[in-house]
Amino acid sequence: MSLARIRKAFLGRWLPIAYLALVVFFAIFPFVWMILTSLKPSDEIFVNPPRLLPRRLYLDGYIKLFTGMEFAKYMRNSFIVAGTTSLATSFCACLAAYAFSKFKFTGSQPLSFSLFLSQLFPQSVILVPLFIIFRRLGLYDTYGALIVANMVFAVPVSTWLMIGFFDGIPAELSDAALIDGCSRLGVLYYIIVPIARTGILATSMYIFIGSWSELLFAVTFTTNREVRTLPLALSNFIGQYTQDWSGLLAASTLTGLPVAIIFLALQHYFVEGMTSGAVKG
């Protein structure tokens, strides 16, 4: 084989593989380090030179999560908030995206574009108005406050994403269903949603992950330990003068584990959904 062919084969095949392997290594290695370090006692965490593998397994960081700080309660709260936010947002976004995609009315384009503009503002802009509203409605220190606050930002971006998914569905299918006597909501339920289910599922996963890791609203709108979520549990390991690194890393590992499992189980639908709205027709 000539030198030119060897160079061409290397550049065309092995170089991309090597590049992807390097990217994957840098993406995964911090999580591997976090998991292995959570199994070390404090005196092993700061040894010099650092060691990747622990000399002995140290499980006290995991044990005290469920014996001393009610970690299971925080995880339950996160599932309630993230799951409810995801379901409620998907329902509202489906209705809004269906209206924007299949109904043409005056001001529909500027209004749909304003959904995208809403994502340019930081969460801190609406903290004070939401705080006042929740206080007056009696929602402060409840799951409802966290769910509604998350939906304020989740519904616009979900609607924006679903408009792209719904636009890719031929209008002839909706027209045929209407001619056969199906109602507008029936078209959405029996035609649009089944065809765009991968896009809807991908959007729901995106909202779930964002709500699962949300911290600012949880800090602002809750003081009761009964409704606080996992991101706040992580802050309990950081003191004024000392940090419980083994406990913090153990909690971080368990916090990311449910999201990782859900993503790995549904990654096919996530990738398919994120690309299904890219091409129309």
Task: Judge whether 45 lies within some domain.
Answer: no
| Rounded Cα gap, residues 226 and 85, in angstroms | 18
SS3 string, 10-62, reads: HHHHHHHHHHHHHHHHHHHHHHHHHHHHCCCCHHHHCCCCCCCCCCCCCCHHH
In a domain, 48, yes or no: no
Q: How far apart are the first and last CA of the chain?
A: 46
- Helix spans in the chain (H): 3-9, 15-37, 42-45, 60-67, 71-102, 108-117, 127-137, 143-167, 171-179, 184-187, 193-195, 197-212, 216-221, 230-235, 245-276
Instruction: Please report whether residue 142 resides in a domain.
Output: yes
Query: From CA 127, how far away is CA 214, in angstroms rounded?
Result: 14
Claim to verify: residue 127 and residue 214 sit in the same structural domain? yes
> 197 and 224 in contact (C-beta within 8 Å)?
no
Residue in the block written with tokens 């929740």: 134
Note whether 133 and 271 are same-domain residues.
Answer: yes
Q: Does some domain include residue 51? A: no
Same domain, 70 and 132: yes
Cβ neighbours of residue 59 closer than 8 Å, sequence gap 6 or more: 39
**Count of domains in the chain?**
2
Residues 107 and 10 in one domain: no
Per-residue pLDDT of the chain (281 residues; tens, 9 = 90+): 566 666 666 566 777 788 888 998 888 898 898 888 888 887 788 888 888 888 888 888 888 888 877 888 999 999 999 999 999 999 999 999 998 888 877 777 788 788 777 778 888 888 999 999 999 999 999 999 999 999 999 999 999 889 888 888 888 888 888 888 888 889 988 888 988 888 898 899 889 999 999 999 999 999 888 898 998 888 777 766 677 788 888 888 989 888 888 888 777 766 665 555 444 44
Cα torsion 132, 134, 135, 141: sign: negative
In a domain, 119, yes or no: yes
Co-location of 101 and 214 in the same domain: yes
- CATH number reported for the structural domain that contains residue 101 in this entry: 1.10.3720.10
Whether residues 26 and 84 share a domain: the answer is no
In a domain, 257, yes or no: yes
* pTM listed for this prediction: 0.83
Q: Does residue 76 share a domain with residue 33?
A: no
Same domain as 112, residue 247: yes
Domain that holds residue 20: 3-37
d(CA 19, CA 23): 6
Say yes or no: 95 and 224 in one domain: yes
